[in-house]
Structure 1
Amino acid sequence: MPMTDVTIAGGGIVGLSLAMALRRGAGLSVQVIDPLPAGKDIGRASAVAAGAQRMLAELGVWDAIAPAAQPVSRMVVTDSRLSDPVRQAFITFDGAIAPDEPFAYIIENAVVTNALRDAAHAAGVVSAATAVKGFATRGAGVDLTLADGSRQRTALLVAADGARSALRSYAGIPWSGHDYDQSGIVATVAHERPHDGCAVQHFLPPGPFARLPLTGNRSSIVWTERRADAEALLALDADDVVDELERRFGLDLGRLTLETELRAFPLGVGMARRFVGDRFALVGDAAHLVHPLAGLGLNLGLRDVAVLAEAIVDHARLGLPPGDATVLERYQRARRFDTLTLGIATDGLNRLFSNDRLPFRLARDLGLGIVDRMPGLKNFFIREAAGVVGAVPRLMRGEPL
């Protein structure tokens, strides 16, 4: 039976980043298993924070991504009703954490995925267009049963297969969380005038509406609506969609046209009761799910990768296999508290801002106004969002493993 050091179920950004980190850091044999559904990244973009950008550069893929990466020059936060004639900017963040280093870039997911996939192939990562249908620990490894009928063996199995992780279910790891009865609507929009790198977060009663700058006169939208309203919006014809979009997007960038169709996905918050099992680990959305209002989801997953890869590579130099319990416990200790606190914070923000009750509006607007007048606090928040404070793993400092 073929044996691999690490098998990763999930060929998205998080799974491919882990594969690259392990190949470059320790030369381990790595396989990525994913049925690779066509078009899963169309219309979606992500904020790649400074720490994650440093990591992608260290993995050798940033040069391929950079031409399509839009630096965020500043971020404006507003709080209003949809009918309000003026949207007051309650807080504005400058986009730089250091000279010539923005706190984040907005990049279409497909660009990052394709760059990582090409680099992984060149680095010798094996890929298989199938799925893991079952697994069982035996001795010093894990026996895998794949959907194509083949059987394989690996020293460590990593689930990077998303919030509805089949592997997490197979492993019997409980999930704690709840559904928001909200949907996140995503699309790419073209507009007449340049955005100058400005990202805008409108807090509206149904949920936040984010306007994220892409290269050229284009923006990505992440539009939160109650689920029933989202389904009705997706059923509209293109002209009516643009009319609804302009009410939320604003008219400061001129006329809008849709570059991609609206796509919607359910929103919720959740966390696995544990991130590891017997020669098994969860990363990314398979381990934790947060609301997209802060743009943290992908960056949390990439931080998982940086911490897990560092633990595996460090212990490999001591002769320990990737699936050793010491390796996995180091990863879990480093990530559980961080993701729990951020999950609680984003859940609280969504509850605070996704309503139209006057006491809540007054409290949050007062809080935003106070923060806007405190440059030191604003600088702390922006550096925290950039992922460059605290116990930063080596890859996110731009250092090799």
Structure 2
Amino acid sequence: MADKRELLILGGGLVGMTLALAAARRGMASHVVDRADPAELTAEGYDARASAISTASWHLFENIGLAERLEADACPISSIAVTDAMRPGRIDFTPQPHEGTLGRMFANRTLRLALFEAAKAEKLIAWHSSATVTSRERGEHGVAVTLADGTRLEASLMIGAEGRGSPTREDAGIAVAKWDYRHRAIIAGLAHEKPHDNVAWEIFYPAGPFALLPLLDDEAGRHRSAMVWTVAEDDAPGVLALSDRGFAVEVEKAMHGIFGAVEVMGERSSWPLGFHHTATITAARLALVGDAAHGIHPIAGQGLNLGLRDVGALVEVLADGMRLGLDPGDAQLLRRYETWRGLDAFSVALATDGLTRIFGVPGKLPSAVRRLGMGAIQRLPQLKGWFMDEARGVSGKLPEMLKG
């Protein structure tokens, strides 16, 4: 007899596994299917990326029992410095002491380890790793998938959480608006001579932003940051081919020496950058979360946080419906999720796309205009406060799980 559960989550990455844990907190059982091997995903050096976890997302981790496990590895973001190629007119987003930090930085590996450990211990999660889905079914009374080994999994609601190339989204025929920025993000870990003082830097160049994200000092006491350097697609092969010393020299130039001498730690990696947004995030007995629904430029570090807001909203909608005796796949529950998340996700996507294009215009006059606007924001505390609330993820209608 098939093990039918409330949720069938296809994709067990950061968003998909957080969803399974959040749903379990509300009494919902799930199948989580992922084609990756968790041992590979958590291996040293597999993924050099780091993620900024907003205040609201941290509340979600608190509410699902992950915060205590993660706290020791968190590097607080006390301020964000935004500058146009290090010219005069920068903005400093620094909250008041009573407002706390702007977020916390974690290596993606750290987040995965914590999520996977919690998932293994949660009885309401059936985790099917290294598994390939060969067929998907969505019917009037439920959903199902068949795996390559012949296993059949059933549930009331199917959730696509596989990321940008979501086969579940494609299988459902959901239309996607997308374009390629012709940019590539080069990711590397840096050790540097001077401390970062918990400041995240966003240095905008016409070719793309250069971001420095603070990390905790390593065991040897070296100061560390995660770097995300956006370069034109045509330039990426040359940048990646540089020797470690040559690469460090170019990084120091882009940083204008703010952290002193730099050493590259570990392997460099790169990721193509594009935009996509679905026409809808639901269909019959189907919901999309995270990058399966919306892929944005990493310019503001909001991609993962946007997916975690999806998680909080979807779990709240489903839990509210089940208290009323509704099936998790009920159409009216999915409409509520669509209404709640559709506009917010689209607004953030448009904002990040707009920033990418505005700062990508070369020339002295566009730079002067940008810096004039940035100077105005720097002098207006209320406007700065609004931007900081957006960065912390505490604006708008928040799901209960994302509240402190």
Q: TM-score range by the shorter chain?
A: over 0.9
Residue number in structure 2 paired with 1:112: 111
Distance 1:152 1:296 in 2: 33
Of 72, 77, 97 in structure 2, the residue corresponding to residue 72 of structure 1 is: 77
Conserved 8 A contact 1:72-1:95: no
Report the Cα distance in structure 2 between the residues aligned to 1:95 and 1:11, rounded to whole angstroms. 34
* Separation in structure 1 between the aligned mates of residue 270 and residue 89 of structure 2, nearest angstrom: 27
Q: Give 2:128's aligned residue.
A: 128
Deviations 1:122-175 (A, max 9, x none): 122111111323211233111212233322211111111001111111111111
Q: Is the 8 A contact 1:17 1:116 kept in 2?
A: yes
Summarize the alignment of residues 187-206 of structure 1 with structure 2, pairs less than 5 Å apart. Answer: 187-206=188-207
Per the TM alignment, residue 226 of structure 1 is displaced from its structure 2 partner at its CA by 0.5
Q: Which of 48, 56, 79 is the matching residue for 2:53?
A: 48
Structure 2 SS opposite 1:261: strand
Secondary structure of 2:90's partner?
strand
Aligned to 2:220: none
Q: Measure the CA separation in 1 of the matches of 2:89 and 2:12.
A: 39
Match of 1:83 in 2: none
Amino acid at match of 2:56: G
Structure 1, unaligned runs of 5 or more:
81-85
Cα pair 1:52 1:387 within 8 Å, conserved: yes
Asked whether the 8 Å contact 2:31–2:153 carries over to 1, the reply is no
Which segment drifts farther, 387-396 or 125-134?
125-134
Does 212-221 or 105-114 show the bigger shift?
105-114
Structure 2: gaps spanning 5 or more residues: 218-222
Contact 2:48–2:187 (8 Å) recurs in 1: yes
Task: Determine the structure 2 residue equivalent to 1:223.
Answer: 229
Q: What is the number of residues matched between the two proteins?
A: 391
- Write out the 4+ residue segments of structure 1 that deviate beyond 3 Å after TM superposition: 86-89
Q: Secondary structure at the match of 1:323?
A: coil
Pairs within 5 Å for 1:152-167: 152-167=153-168
Give the TM-score, by structure 2 length.
0.93
Displacement, 1:100? 6.6
Residue number in structure 2 paired with 1:278: 284
CA deviation after TM superposition for structure 1 residue 89, in Å: 5.1
Amino acid at match of 2:339: R
Letter in 2 for 1:330: R
How many percent of aligned residue pairs carry the same amino acid?
Answer: 38
Q: Which amino acid aligns with 1:361?
A: S
Q: Which residue of 2 aligns with 1:103?
A: 102
Backbone CA RMSD of aligned residues: 1.5
From 371, 374, 381, give the equivalent of 1:368: 374
Structure 1's 21 and 39: CA in aligned 2 closer, same or farther, altered over 3 A?
closer
TM-score by length of 1: 0.94
Q: Partner of 1:92 in structure 2?
A: 92
Contact 1:95 1:104 in 2 (8 A): no
| Range that drifts further, 340-349 or 306-315 | 340-349
SS at match of 1:221: strand
Q: Secondary structure at the match of 1:102?
A: coil
C-alpha contact (below 8 Å) 2:89/2:375 kept by paired residues: no
3-state SS in 2 of match to 1:362: helix
Asked if residue 387 in structure 1 is aligned to residue 371 in structure 2, the reply is no
Give distance in 2, aligned partners of 1:89 and 1:358: 14
The aligned residue for residue 306 of structure 1 is 312
Question: What residue in structure 1 maps to residue 32 of structure 2?
Answer: 32
Q: State how far apart, in whole Å, the 1-side matches of 2:187 and 2:95 are.
A: 23
- Return the alpha-carbon distance in structure 2 between the equivalents of residues 89 and 212 of structure 1: 21
Supply the AA of the counterpart residue of 1:242: A
